[in-house]
Amino acid sequence: MPKSIIIAIVVLVAVVVIFYVVTMLLRKRTEDRIIALEERKEDLFDLPVQDEIDNVKKLHLVGQSQTLFREWNQKWIDLSSNSFADLENHIFEAEQLNDSFRFVRARASVDASEGQIELMEDDVQAIRDGIADLTKQETINSSKIQDSLDLYDALRAEITDNADKYGAAIGELETQLDNIETEFNQFVQLNSTGDPIEASEVLETAEEHTIALGAIAERIPSVVVELTETYPKQIDEIEQGYQEFLAQDFKLPESAQVEERLQEVRDNLKQSSVFIENFELDRADAQLEQIQLNLDSLYEIFENEYKARRDVAKNSGIIKDYIEHTRGNNKNLLLEIDHVSQAYVLTGNEMGTVRNYQEQLEQLDAGSKELLEVIQENAQPYSLLGKEVDTIISTLDDIEKNQLKISMDLQDLRKQEKVAQDAADTFDREIRIIKRFVDKRNLPGLPQAYLDKFFATSERVQSLYKELNKVKINIDGVNHLVDVTTEDMANLKDATDDLVDKARVAEDLMQYANRYKTTNEAIAKSIARAYQLFERDRNYAGSYDEISQALEAVEPGATERIANVYHTTKMIPDYR
């Protein structure tokens, strides 16, 4: 047999074997899925759904609960009667297709069956959950009713046993208790006839009403106490205090309106009682807050008048003596001003100010006499009289404070003169020290600008002496001269330092530069120019600039080094 035919036969056999193996694998895989579907179907069918439904039927549900139960029951009937049979047909069809090697259609049928059983499993779970909720709600209602009834019974007992604590609100409280009791009876009826869901809603409403009523009842007693005890007691206290005020011939401000405001408080109390009776507690609280504000303001009026009476009695007695004391101060101050004005120029109109105080004191004296007569006659409220007394005393306080300031300023004139005299002596001494210091430097002469500054400062010192030697000294002018001269002296000291330092360093630089004189023509010319500026022109700063620039050209840093040596070793001048 030819070799090619043998190869063809082998390939054909291999293909057949491979096809057979693949076919068996596909059939086996589909068969496994069908077996799994059968098991899921059996597990689903074996669930005790019917038993659970039968147990709920025994509850004899009605109303909303009965409606829900019928829906779940009908859904189970549809599933058990139709869906299971339909699923069985689909599974059988898939088995037939798989056995006849129609794998594509078999797989499609298995896919559809798996999707169907998933929906059925979800529906069965939903049915069981719904049935369980109905049973659970019945159990919850049974356990919850006792707690709710205990809460209600405790509230009714509290209100009934303490009816007097609730005042006008007791009638509405009892009505609300009866309404809640009706809701509990409705719950019992619904629950016992088999409608646990609607019964649960009624029970929850009854419990909410009980809690809300308890919260209201808790707020009422404190409000009733305020209405029946606290505020009536305060009204009695204010009325009693008002009568005592009248008996003692107190005068109250027109704005007090005690009787009108007390009547307003009484009317507000009646209105608050109506709010409480109608359970309008927020409006009652707002009304009571306004009542308290009115009562507090009346208490404050009486307290202010009592305090004002004590203050008037205390302060009115010192007014006369205080005026006389201030008059004495004014008289002494006028004498002091007259005495001081002989030696000093007074620029603050002290005499006019003190004479004006005298006029104020005369007016205060006249006003205080009238005020004391009014106080004696008890003709006005003490709060108003107290303000007038305080005004007089405050004015006297201001006058005395200003008198003391003027007196201290006058006494300070002598101190300021002494300070200025000491400053003038110091300036004069420093001028002489500066002159001696400059003379000892043996300079060829002094620049005109420096001489002008020196003589101007000396003249300023002499002007200060002239001002101090006048018969009547103007301290303001003297102090100004002291300030200006102080600044001039500082400038002169700085100018002296600069003059001497530049001259001395210029000399040192010229002496140092001589080492380059024979070898460097530029240095030689610079030394000559610097020397001319120093000796002939007395321009020590110019001489310093000339020689330092030339020296830096041949030996950078030499100027700074020589200058540092000078400043390190020089003595501090006596004028510093």
* Structural domain contains residue 32: yes
Together in a domain, 257 and 364: yes
Task: Name which residue leads in pLDDT, 146 or 378.
Answer: 378
Q: What are 50-108's pLDDT values in tens digits?
A: 666 666 665 544 445 556 666 666 776 666 666 665 666 666 665 665 555 555 565 66
Together in a domain, 343 and 393: yes
State residue 52's pLDDT score: 65
Task: Name which residue leads in pLDDT, 272 or 407.
Answer: 407
Confidence of residue 264 (pLDDT cuts 50, 70, 90): confident
Lowest mean pLDDT among 231-235, 323-327, 354-358: 231-235
Domain that holds residue 304: 249-411
* Structural domain contains residue 182: no
Indicate the pTM of the whole model.
0.50
Together in a domain, 373 and 490: no
Region 117-131 average pLDDT: 71
Together in a domain, 338 and 392: yes
Contacts from 172-177 at CB under 8 Å and sequence distance 24+? 172/277, 172/278, 172/279, 173/213, 173/216, 173/217, 173/220, 176/209, 176/213, 177/152, 177/213
Residue 570 DSSP symbol: P
Helix (H/G/I), strand (E/B), else coil: 344: strand
* Structural domain contains residue 395: yes
Together in a domain, 401 and 454: no
Together in a domain, 63 and 121: yes
* Structural domain contains residue 374: yes
Region 275-292 average pLDDT: 81
Together in a domain, 486 and 563: yes
Lowest mean pLDDT among 39-43, 456-460, 516-520: 39-43
Cα–Cα distances in angstroms (integers) from residue 392 to residues 245, 289, 362, 365, in the given order? 27, 40, 12, 9
State residue 545's pLDDT score: 94
Mean of the per-residue pLDDT values of the chain: 80
* Structural domain contains residue 176: no
Together in a domain, 261 and 397: yes
State residue 289's pLDDT score: 84
State residue 512's pLDDT score: 93
State residue 275's pLDDT score: 80
State residue 313's pLDDT score: 78
Together in a domain, 463 and 374: no
Residue 168 DSSP symbol: G
Confidence of residue 19 (pLDDT cuts 50, 70, 90): very low
Together in a domain, 519 and 403: no
State residue 276's pLDDT score: 78
Q: What are 387-412's pLDDT values in tens digits?
A: 888 888 999 999 999 999 999 999 99
Confidence of residue 218 (pLDDT cuts 50, 70, 90): confident
* Structural domain contains residue 474: yes
Together in a domain, 401 and 480: no
* Structural domain contains residue 175: no
Task: Name which residue leads in pLDDT, 57 or 516.
Answer: 516
Distance CA 255, CA 243 (A): 17
Together in a domain, 509 and 449: yes
Domain count, the chain: 3
* Structural domain contains residue 44: yes
Lowest mean pLDDT among 71-75, 88-92, 192-196, 448-452: 192-196
Region 476-495 average pLDDT: 95
